[in-house]
């Protein structure tokens, strides 16, 4: 609550700057783009960016199972990314198109079982 001088928006972006300049992120981004054949998940145009399905926050930015998990990343073109980020598109943050073109909540697939995700839930309580 100290650095008010920069303004809230600057702060919001500032927390992710370190991630986006890291090699780990660049590798991950490249991997996701390649996985998706550089195809935008929304308009099937040429993707040049990747989008975090579960939005990054200052709380989860250090959680590699969110920030650097290919399962939480989709390839998007610049236009669609801007729409998603601004919430102005016809698909909302947290939702994705499935294989049939239906809008489904992006949180459905569990974020586990992937290489970078070291966390495992404790044994289920019955």
- Interacting residues toward Zn ion by CB under 5 A: 40, 42-43, 45, 77, 80
Nearest-approach distance from CB 5 to Zn ion, in angstroms: 36
Residues 59, 22: contact at Cβ < 8 Å?
no
Q: Which lies closer to Zn ion via its Cβ, residue 45 or residue 64?
A: 45
Nearest-approach distance from CB 80 to Zn ion, in angstroms: 3
Q: Which lies closer to Zn ion via its Cβ, residue 40 or residue 50?
A: 40
Nearest-approach distance from CB 79 to Zn ion, in angstroms: 6
* Beta pairing partners, 74: 51
Q: Which lies closer to Zn ion via its Cβ, residue 11 or residue 44?
A: 44
What would the two tokens of residue 8 be? Answer: 């809230």
């Amino acid at each position: 609550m100290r650095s008010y001088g920069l303004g809230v928006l600057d702060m919001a972006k500032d927390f992710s700057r370190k991630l986006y300049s890291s090699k780990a992120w660049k590798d991950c981004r490249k991997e996701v783009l390649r996985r998706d054949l550089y195809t935008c998940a929304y308009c099937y145009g040429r993707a040049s960016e990747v989008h975090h399905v579960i939005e990054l926050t200052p709380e989860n930015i250090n959680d590699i199972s969110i920030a650097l998990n290919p399962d939480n990343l989709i390839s998007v073109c610049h236009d669609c990314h801007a729409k998603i980020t601004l919430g102005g598109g016809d698909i909302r943050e947290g939702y994705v198109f499935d294989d049939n073109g239906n809008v489904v909540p992006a949180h459905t697939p569990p974020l586990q079982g992937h290489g970078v995700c070291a966390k495992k839930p404790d044994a289920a309580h019955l």
